[in-house]
Amino acid sequence: MDVPKGFPYPNIPPDNLPTANRINLGKKLFFDPILSRDSSKSCNSCHHTDKKFTDGLALSIGIDGNLTLRNSMTILNTAYQPYFFWDGGAPTLEQQTLAPIENPLEMDFDVNLVVERLIQHSEYPELFQKAYDLPPSPYTLVRAISNYERSLFTKKSRYDEYLYDNNTSALTASEINGMTIFFGEQGECFHCHGEYNFTDYSFKNNGLYLSYADSGRARITTNSSDVGKFKVPSLRNVEHTAPYMHDGSRATLEDVIEHYNTGGQPHPNKSGLIQPLNLTPQEKIDLVNFLKSLSDKE
């Protein structure tokens, strides 16, 4: 696996170690609408390769034109995610894979019926046999897709060149200024969006609303102290993954910076790190420029 520079080798379940046959099978399944009830939607429908595996929509559109509940997250660097979905409801990637298939707003299908289709298929049984030495089953189905998804990493950005290649000219003066705000006590962004993947994977209420239509993490834990908390997303390629937030309610990076600059709504669960930043117009531009330096170069 082509792990980017500065990234650790990910933890991979021993029963689903990567092989070329597994990755290729998972890739074929990822792009195949056979997974959805009416064969209209594939994983790729909401995770486009040309949008860094997001879909550019505030809320994704599932089967029959249904509006789903949340914004599509990138699946790049998913090998590092300790749990899945905005609310962490799935503890493993393999278990996550079941949800879009079963969700009535997404693929609205039955995993057992997907497996029946795969068993009848002219190519899949042989591909499963090659990959797992087993026929298509819910077990091998979710493992193959997960195996492919774990092989998807972000690529080198100009920020990485600056950091790892000691290329001081990789970033502009504005981007460097934005970086200083980002990693300093002025912006405080790095507390949650830190380290190689620009996330600590914690659940945070960032003061988006006073009252949340989507309770977020509380939907899983039922704790009122988790209302409005969502998993901190990675910022790599953030330039290409608009719109932003769990509900896609912020259209541009400028809108996002403006939200954090105001300090957000005074929700009782709001993270103490979210406070008014008092950024100048130039500092806001610098921050946005820095975020854009996190994009894959190729």
Partner 1 sequence: MKKALLRSGLIILSTFGVLFTSCKDDDDTEPTPASTEQNLTFHIHTNVGATSVVYGTNYAHTDGRTFNLSDLRYYISNIVLIKQDNSELPISGKVLLVNPSENEYSLGKVPVGSYKGFRFYLGLDSATNHTDPTTYTSENLFPIQTPSIHWSWNSGYIFMKIEGLVDTSLAGNGNVNFPFFYHVGLDQNTKTIDFTNEAFTVASGSDKEIGLEFDLLSTLTNVDMRTENATHTMDNMPLATKIADNWTISFEIE
- The answer to the question of residue 68 lying near partner 1 (CB under 8 A) is no
Task: Give φ, ψ of 127 to 5 degrees.
Answer: -65, -40
Q: Which stretch binds partner 1 (CB under 8 A): 85-93, 158-166, 245-253, 254-262?
A: 85-93
Q: Is 191 in the site for partner 1 (CB under 8 A)?
A: no
How big is the site for partner 1, counted in residues (CB under 8 A)?
27
Residue type, 23: I
Catalytic residue positions, numbered: 106
> Using CA atoms, how far apart are residues 272 and 268, in angstroms rounded to an integer?
10
Q: Per the structure block, which two tokens stand in for 52? A: 């860094």
Q: Of the candidates 220, 261, 265, 275, which one interacts with partner 1 according to CB under 8 A?
A: 220
**68, burial (CB in 10 Å: exposed 0-12, middle 13-18, buried 19+):** middle
The H or E element that residue 173 is part of is: helix 173-183
> Distance of CA 44 to CAs 40, 74, 180, Å?
11, 11, 36
- Structure-block tokens of residue 200: 């600590």
Question: Binding residue for partner 1 (CB under 8 A) from 50, 112, 278, 298?
Answer: 112
> Which residues are registered as beta bridge partners of 84?
90
Decide if residue 124 touches partner 1 (CB under 8 A).
Answer: no
Residue 226 near partner 1 by CB under 8 A: no
Closer to partner 1 by Cβ: residue 1 or 113 = 113
Question: Contact between 95 and partner 1 (CB under 8 A)?
Answer: yes
Based on CB atoms, which residue is closest to partner 1, 18 or 89? 89
Q: Is residue 109 classed as helix, strand or coil in its secondary structure?
A: coil
Residue 34 sits in the site that holds partner 1 (CB under 8 A): no
Q: CB burial class (10 A; 0-12, 13-18, 19+) of residue 198?
A: buried
The SS3 assignment for 252 reads coil
Residue 219 engages partner 1 in binding (rule: CB under 8 A): yes
Q: Binding partner 1 by CB under 8 A: which of 99, 163, 176, 285?
A: 99
Residues 128-147 that bind partner 1 (CB under 8 A): 137-139, 141-143
| Residue ranges in contact with partner 1 by CB under 8 A | 85, 87, 89-92, 94-96, 98-99, 101-103, 110-113, 137-139, 141-143, 219-220, 222
